[in-house]
Structure 1
Amino acid sequence: MPTPGSGRGFLWLGLVLSSVCVALGCETQANSTTDALNILLIIVDDLRPSLGCYGDKLVRSPNIDQLASHSLLFQNAFAQQAVCAPSRVSFLTGRRPDTTRLYDFNSYWRVHAGNFSTIPQYFKENGYVTMSVGKVFHPGITSNHTDDSPYSWSFPPYHPSSEKYENTKRKIRQSYFASVSYLDTQVGRLLSALDDLQLANSTIVAFTSDHGWALGEHGEWAKYSNFDVATHVPLMFYVPGRTASLPEAGEKLFPYLDPFDSASELMEPGRQSMDLVELVSLFPTLAGLAGLQVPPRCPVPSFHVELCREGKNLLKHFRFRDLEEDPYLPGNPRELIAYSQYPRPADFPQWNSDKPSLKDIKIMGYSIRTIDYRYTVWVGFNPDEFLANFSDIHAGELYFVDSDPLQDHNMYNDSQGGDLFQLLMP
């Protein structure tokens, strides 16, 4: 929806499972009259890639699979910390937790680390109208109790009533890991609204999660770790005219599909990339896809720089010329690394091991994921100075992807772990 004289359109909706399609219909009619691409970012809580489009044969997710069939899907995307507030602040600012200095739920990055720009703020400052529905920034102190409004949003963010939100969270806990039916239904209705409003040919859709979730793996029913089950997330981009042909007049690109209809067929993803990518790449990638100037890479340190990004721009993955015969995009996968980290208050489990406050963090687990292995080293950490001491090693983990995909057999003590330290700094 353009601001006067801007000539640009922008639809921004963060979707957690309680989002309401009515908000989309009410606010987007004006966008269909502009030539600029809208952006619809769908963010899901706690969703690992247990979806049909990621090869899960038990999960029924026809609407998300339908989106994937028109999208570029990244098979190996990873979050930077497996807990809501730090992960969301990280990818919405395009900076890693060590730069946002947010590892818990108890500070606001603009005051605590630096007055960093966010993805919606950058679009807003470039003439776009930005809107939020449901959980985008984590509510509470980490978003200044305002979801970073008015910095990021043109209008106050929409939130469901507290009673409805609590009821929704109960439904999510009861059902969505089992069948993804509730999630898939909400996503399907949201996407079908794009067809109803004739916006499918002018809207980029990005779909992801803030982190994964262990469902019994490693003895855990939670996130709070550096394992793949906690950091591996779905990531896909639908870009009109690039990842799929523009829909014909009257054609429905995203018709709603009933997840309980046994006749629905599994849809294969459109294009796929096996390259390792990180959620901090969302900022430069969305900016580039929309035709805006991609923010520059951050200097070190960058606390004084309002606009920069630490993630790589993924725009090269969307250049499909001369690649029509190969659904997997070429690259040099052994040069790619995804970084994650997680804090602990002590070497042994205690009451606050999963969610320590900043003042209690004594150890930081820095983890790198390559196409061949995941390597994690737990080192001493000073919460007052935000400094890790890589000479103070408390423990290490090394898992090989091919021989141990579930990461159950730690080979760290059998390896030359110290030789990998140089890779731990992004």
Structure 2
Amino acid sequence: MTSPTRFLSLIFLSGFVFLIPVSAEEKAPLNVLLIMVDDLRPELSCYGVGEVVSPNIDRLASRGMRFNNAYAQYPVCNPSRASLLTGWRPNEVGIVTNNIPLRKVWPDVVTLPQIFRENGYFTAGFGKIFHLGLNADQEVTFFEDPQSFDIFYDARPDASKLGKTGEGRNLTDGRLGWCQWLAANGDDEDQADGLLAKAAIKILNEKRDRPFFIGLGFHKPHDPFIAPKKYFDLYPVEDVKLAIEPDNRSPRVRHAIPNERDFSSFTDKERKEFKRAYQACVSFTDAQIGKVFSAMDKLNLWDTTIVILMGDHGYHLGEHDWWNKVTVYELGARAPMAIWVPGTKGMGRSTDAIVEFVDLYPTLLDLTGLNSPHKLSGVSVRPVFDDPDLPGKQAAFTQVNRGKVYGRSVRTRDWRYTEWGETGELGIELYNKRSDDGEYYNLAESEKHSNVRKHMKQLLYEGFIKNQEAH
């Protein structure tokens, strides 16, 4: 929206009245809606997984820009979000576990929503944008960050007792407490994510005289895999397709998977139940996102609102015999991202540009004209919104810790290179992404690829190790 040009009468000269503009047409500040979906991998129709029912996420991917190569900096909730929300890499933030609140380490850091709040935006947080926070009494709690949000709502305490009943089971006979599914009784608003969508829509409907930044963090498909039964009914268990692993794959580097024994006893029945439950939760969350988008339609908010929808890292559904996150394989590092930016030329297209989650902070500042409160480690990808054919960054970096063991990975357009240990002494992986997208054939010891390995090692040092030494 623009305001009309206004004129002011200055002075009479020789019988004429001279008028000059005092305010050229100015665009109103853009709102921001950031939707984060916990543990969401590109298990979506818009990413080629046609059996998944995800029409609302697909709608945004079609209307806006779908990023095919977006990478998290850490494949676990808290470190990934702490990095994204500060604009720093995990080794710079110093948070590489799920049990340290950001404010314990950086009490005064200006987070992504906070910089908008400090520039006059109304900010609201719903659900899981932050992982751990400190409440107003400085007590450790989930999701809260009073410095970032004018209002905050955690829907979990309000989920109904009915929504905790239904048909389901633990797939490991209780050995892994999280590994369970439930086709729940009740409807969407008997679950926390249904209540989050309802609360966000209420805020969208409220009239206010300033722009907004809304963070909406949905919990599913994070475990335990609980969703109303109607979403499970979309996926008959006998129709679930399992990942096919090649028999001649390279021996796995020791630390690539956290614990191979966790799922070694899984039968095909349990594998299908797990994947079915994950997909049901994706469709449940997609339906909540659809309600939010319908509210935006009615309120005519698309022309004035940047919309970002993303997972917080990747996830395995049986690939490499793993059923979780916490890896720096492509499946652990890559996550879906779709962004709508009003008025840019590339909307309605996809891009293969390499981007990192750490780029989101500078990109949103660039799009809204705000100044950075501190030095940011990412770069603005604003040019990609006008030209999706741009290559993006040369490389994306992801890291993980196995206790005191470091895993550091760099991904270029054609290669993924990973070192375990301080200098790769505990294992090195090199995969040709053109011919081996699943990363099953390790070329690190191939003499033919020694120059590639040397180049990727240098990239890893320049983009990550050197950066760590600087902090």
Could you tell me how far apart the structure 2 residues matched to 1:46 and 1:229 are?
Answer: 11
Q: Conserved in 2, the CA contact under 8 Å of 1:215 and 1:222?
A: yes
In structure 2, which of residues 366, 377, 382 is the aligned counterpart of residue 288 of structure 1?
Answer: 366
Using a 3 Å threshold, how does the CA distance of structure 1 residues 170 and 404 change in structure 2: closer, same or farther?
closer
TM-score (norm 2): 0.64
Could you tell me how far apart the structure 2 residues matched to 1:243 and 1:179 are?
Answer: 34
Using a 3 Å threshold, how does the CA distance of structure 1 residues 113 and 201 change in structure 2: closer, same or farther?
closer
Structure 1 residue 237, shift from structure 2 partner: 1.0
Using a 3 Å threshold, how does the CA distance of structure 1 residues 146 and 216 change in structure 2: closer, same or farther?
closer
1:396 corresponds to which residue?
428
Using a 3 Å threshold, how does the CA distance of structure 1 residues 36 and 419 change in structure 2: closer, same or farther?
closer
1:145 corresponds to which residue?
141
Describe how 1:146-165 pairs up with structure 2 within 5 A. Answer: 147-161=143-157, 163-164=159-160
In structure 1, stretches of 5+ residues that fail to align are 1-33, 245-268, 296-305, 321-328, 345-360, 380-388
In structure 2, which of residues 16, 35, 43 is the aligned counterpart of residue 42 of structure 1?
Answer: 35
Do residues 135 (structure 1) and 128 (structure 2) align?
A: yes
Structure 1 residue 279, shift from structure 2 partner: 0.6
Structure 1 residue 312, shift from structure 2 partner: 1.3
What is the one-letter code of the residue matched to 1:283?
Answer: Y
In structure 2, which of residues 405, 410, 425 is the aligned counterpart of residue 368 of structure 1?
Answer: 410
In structure 2, which of residues 419, 428, 432 is the aligned counterpart of residue 377 of structure 1?
Answer: 419
TM-score (norm 1): 0.70
1:68 corresponds to which residue?
61
Describe how 1:264-413 pairs up with structure 2 within 5 A. Answer: 270-293=348-371, 295=372, 307-319=374-386, 329-332=388-391, 336-344=394-402, 361-379=403-421, 389-390=422-423, 393-413=425-445
Q: Conserved in 2, the CA contact under 8 Å of 1:371 and 1:401?
A: yes
Describe how 1:76-225 pairs up with structure 2 within 5 A. Answer: 76-112=69-105, 115-139=108-132, 144-145=140-141, 147-161=143-157, 163-164=159-160, 167=164, 168=191, 169-172=224-227, 175-178=277-280, 180-225=282-327
2:456 corresponds to which residue?
420
Could you tell me how far apart the structure 1 residues matched to 2:459 and 2:302 are?
Answer: 41
What is the one-letter code of the residue matched to 1:49?
Answer: P
What is the one-letter code of the residue matched to 1:375?
Answer: Y
Structure 1 residue 139, shift from structure 2 partner: 3.5
What is the one-letter code of the residue matched to 2:44?
Answer: L
Structure 1 residue 164, shift from structure 2 partner: 4.5
Could you tell me how far apart the structure 1 residues matched to 2:281 and 2:144 are?
Answer: 33
What is the one-letter code of the residue matched to 1:155?
Answer: I
What is the one-letter code of the residue matched to 1:421?
Answer: K
Bigger Cα displacement from structure 2, 68-77 vs 166-175: 166-175
Describe how 1:7-46 pairs up with structure 2 within 5 A. Answer: 35-46=28-39
Using a 3 Å threshold, how does the CA distance of structure 1 residues 205 and 363 change in structure 2: closer, same or farther?
same
What is the one-letter code of the residue matched to 2:378?
Answer: G
Give the strand-richer structure, 1 or 2. Answer: 2
Could you tell me how far apart the structure 2 residues matched to 1:410 and 1:162 are?
Answer: 48
Using a 3 Å threshold, how does the CA distance of structure 1 residues 194 and 409 change in structure 2: closer, same or farther?
same
Structure 1 residue 113, shift from structure 2 partner: 5.2
Structure 1 residue 228, shift from structure 2 partner: 0.8
Could you tell me how far apart the structure 2 residues matched to 1:370 and 1:164 are?
Answer: 46
Count of residue pairs the alignment pairs up: 323
SS of corresponding position for 1:413: coil
SS of corresponding position for 2:151: coil
Could you tell me how far apart the structure 2 residues matched to 1:275 and 1:331 are?
Answer: 6
Could you tell me how far apart the structure 1 residues matched to 2:104 and 2:51 are?
Answer: 45
Q: Conserved in 1, the CA contact under 8 Å of 2:313 and 2:335?
A: yes
Give % identity: 38
Q: Conserved in 2, the CA contact under 8 Å of 1:99 and 1:113?
A: no
Could you tell me how far apart the structure 2 residues matched to 1:199 and 1:368 are?
Answer: 38
1:353 corresponds to which residue?
none
Could you tell me how far apart the structure 1 residues matched to 2:90 and 2:338 are?
Answer: 23
What is the one-letter code of the residue matched to 1:330?
Answer: D
Q: Deviations over 1:130-173 (max 9, x none)?
A: 10111110136799426352211112344332645984454257
In structure 1, which of residues 228, 236, 248 is the aligned counterpart of residue 338 of structure 2?
Answer: 236
